[in-house]
Chains A and B, each alone.
Chain A
Amino acid sequence: MNKTININLGGLVFYIDEDAYQQLKNYLSAIERSLSSSEGKEEIIADIESRIAELFNEKLKDNKQVINQQDVHSVIQVMGEPEDYRVDEEVFGGDEKQSKSSASSRKLYRDTDNKMLAGVSAGLGHYFGINKNWIRLLFLAFSLSGGFGLLLYAILWIGMPEAKTTAQKLEMKGEPINLDTIEKKVKEGFQSVKKNVEEVDLNEVGQKIKNEGRSLGDALSTFITEFFGVITTIVKGFFQILGKLIGLVLITVGSGVLIALLIVFLFMGMIDVHLAKDWGFIYQGFSDYPEWLMHLLLFIAVGIPFFSLLLVGLQMVFNQMSKLHTGVKVGLFALWLLSVVGLIGMGVTQLNSDVVGTQQLEEKNMVFEASTDTLTLDFKRDSKLDMLWEDAYWQDQRTLTPGYDEQGNEILASKKINLSLGLSDTAQIRVAVAKKARGLRYNSALDRARAVDYEWSLNQDSLVLSDYFTTPSRWKNKGQSVKIGLELPKGTLVKMSERSAEGVEHFWQLTGDRGQNTHLWVVEDQDHLRCLDCE
């Protein structure tokens, strides 16, 4: 079903479909535009209208009653494009400045007649009055440097309607937007306001003149109406330009942030993968959740608002941008909301997980003849882990994934250990290992503390300690640490390899130039050993 409109063309009445009417109207106004400099323009238009009426009349035989789009289209083909009317003027020395035609600005369509891919560049070329190849070049340049061009092209492809009908093609090739045309628009607005005011004047004021003669007040009110009409037009024009400028700013900001986000998102991912491959470990960030999930949520949460900013900007600059489908809008908003809720949720659980701290204690005592026996202290260091730690940028983090345990579970290794040396007041060696962890509740903290795997042993005359502990990888950064308290009688003799001494040195003061060999040390004080046989 189509709505029809009643029109008077060349003195004849026609019923015409609404869309066909729009097309015809656009066609006639386009002709009027291209004839703007001719003398007798109204007469020419009247002639053309009556010719169109004649052509329509021919089409309305055989019981056909309504003019449709197809009829209008075929009439336009017979009559020719508005350019055909204009070329004539050029040849016969009319006003050569064809761009000085009046009225409405160009609209943004995809020009599929001159397309390379989808006609986006050609359409933009018409819109800005630039050769389309320059725009293609720009797209190419932006595409090669970061792929932004491709993204923009895709967005424009979606947003720009294709110029299908003649009327749309006419609109597409209309006038470039520049200061000249804006000025002209303002002037036209002035004219039309003036015309309107004059008409009002004739109808209403004319009546008054009959009655009481034209008073000064009427003249004044006319002037005021006219004046404000002009002001309105100028202000409108000003806001149109302002709107375009704001639109440009929005586009710049929106696309800039999107590019930055995209780069960060892509390259962060690449670094992770790169490190994982090369060095066999993955950086464990502060979150329990996978890094990629956090990046993705962040990308969505920040990206969508800026994407909509970009769209709004595009709409402001190119009035013709088709709006996003409501479903898509709702979908985007829902996605954004989800990602924000997700991020907040992640943050809350992360914060909550550290509320309670507790520890699991392991203790061993051993009777020891401090004056005669020698304690061999072996501070075990995993050479593979050492290498990894040296390479890691984030050594302060001290948490790495070196591999898998016997059951094939991924494990974390951490160097958050503390080794303290105290003086025992009995003839006993005492070793206390406290494994610490934090959690949302006491139980979860204790579970985590128990899950800390620290290898150590004390027997006969040897103490074996490690400089790292491991923990299941599902608990990242739950405040796991190990504190080793070692108590030795003063004057105890301790034998340490160079490698062990190097590890112990992080915690204790070692006096003596020890070189590369195994040496004998004596317990001097708290956290203090003195070398007995160093050079």
Chain B
Amino acid sequence: MNIENTKAQMRKGVLEYCILSVLNNKDLYASEILEHLKQAKLLVVEGTLYPLLTRLKNAELLQYRWEESTGGPPRKYYTLTDLGKKFLAELDQTWNELNQAVQQVTQQ
């Protein structure tokens, strides 16, 4: 059992949830999402994010629109779809339950 693996798996397990949460308040493009996640140390390297975003988009939880940027490449701004919002609400609930359950178990 590799501790680093376990840690990474824990982090990555909640990544989808976090991405959806970040996008709940505001439409963001990849680098901004990255900033949020990196600040919270949920993400060590950026590469992990892109397959995830595509997966979420393919699951129709996210959609994006192109916006030109000054001096850089055009940006993909991601936004939650209706399905994504429902999904997020469910995840919120699950997370709270899970959180409580974990706390209860670990504090005994």
Contact = CB atoms under 8 A, between A and B. Distances in A.
B47 A84 contact: yes
Given A40-B58, A51-B46, A78-B45, A11 B52 contact: no
B10 to A, nearest CB: 10
Contact of A84 (B31, B48, B74, B75): B48
Contact of A80 (B9, B46, B73): B46
A31 B47 contact: yes
Given A79-B47, A80-B48, A87-B8, A47 B53 contact: yes
A533 interface: no
Contacts of B89: none
Nearest to A12: B73
A89 B75 CA distance: 25
A128 to B, nearest CB: 23
A54 B54 CA distance: 19
A88 B76 contact: no
Interface in B73-102: 73-76
Nearest to A50: B73
B43 to A, nearest CB: 9
B45 A48 contact: no
Interface string B1-43: 0000000110011001000000000000011000000000000
A43 interface: yes
Contacts of B73: 9-12, 50, 53-54, 57
A38 interface: yes
A44 interface: yes
Looking at chain A's contact residues, the main secondary structure is: helix
Interface in A425-480: none
Given A12-B73, A57-B72, A51 B50 contact: yes
A11 B74 contact: yes
A220 interface: no
Contacts of B74: 11, 50
A35 B13 CA distance: 19
B36 to A, nearest CB: 15
A44 B51 contact: yes
A51 B16 CA distance: 20
Given A51-B30, A51-B31, A89 B47 contact: no
Given A12-B73, A81-B45, A44 B12 contact: no
A92 B55 contact: yes
A71 B69 CA distance: 22
Nearest to B73: A10
Looking at chain B, what size class is its interface with the partner chain? 20 to 34
Contacts of B51: 35, 38, 44, 85, 88-89
A29 to B, nearest CB: 14
B44 A43 contact: no
B54 A43 contact: yes
Contacts of A43: 54
A88 B51 CA distance: 8
Among A9, A54, A78, A82, find the residue whose CB has the most chain B CB atoms closer than 10 A: A54
Nearest to A80: B45
A31 B12 CA distance: 19
B76 A47 contact: yes
Contacts of B71: 57
B73 to A, nearest CB: 4
A91 B9 contact: yes
Contact of B12 (A11, A47, A54, A88): A88
Contacts of A89: 51
A406 interface: no
Given A80-B45, A92-B55, A47 B13 contact: no
Given A12-B73, A35-B51, A78 B46 contact: yes
B45 A84 contact: yes
A396 interface: no
Nearest to B44: A80
Contacts of B44: 80, 84
A48 B73 CA distance: 12
Contacts of B57: 40
A88 B30 contact: no
Nearest to B55: A92
Contacts of A51: 30-31, 46, 50
A362 interface: no
Interface in A1-29: 9-12
B90 to A, nearest CB: 17
A47 B58 contact: no
Among A31, A51, A79, A87, find the residue whose CB has the most chain B CB atoms closer than 10 A: A51
A308 to B, nearest CB: 45
Among B9, B57, B71, find the residue whose CB has the most chain A CB atoms closer than 10 A: B71
B30 A39 contact: no
28 contacts: A9-B73, A35-B51, A38-B51, A38-B54, A40-B54, A47-B50, A48-B47, A50-B73, A50-B76, A51-B30, A51-B46, A53-B72, A54-B31, A54-B73, A78-B45, A78-B46, A79-B45, A79-B47, A80-B44, A80-B46, A81-B47, A82-B47, A84-B44, A84-B47, A84-B48, A85-B50, A87-B48, A91-B8
Given A43-B54, A84-B47, 17 more contacts: A12-B73, A35-B51, A38-B54, A40-B55, A44-B50, A47-B53, A50-B74, A50-B75, A51-B31, A53-B72, A54-B31, A54-B72, A57-B73, A79-B45, A80-B48, A81-B47, A92-B12
Can you list the 8 inter-chain pairs with the closest CB atoms, starting with the nearest? A80-B45, A80-B47, A10-B73, A40-B54, A79-B47, A50-B73, A47-B50, A91-B12
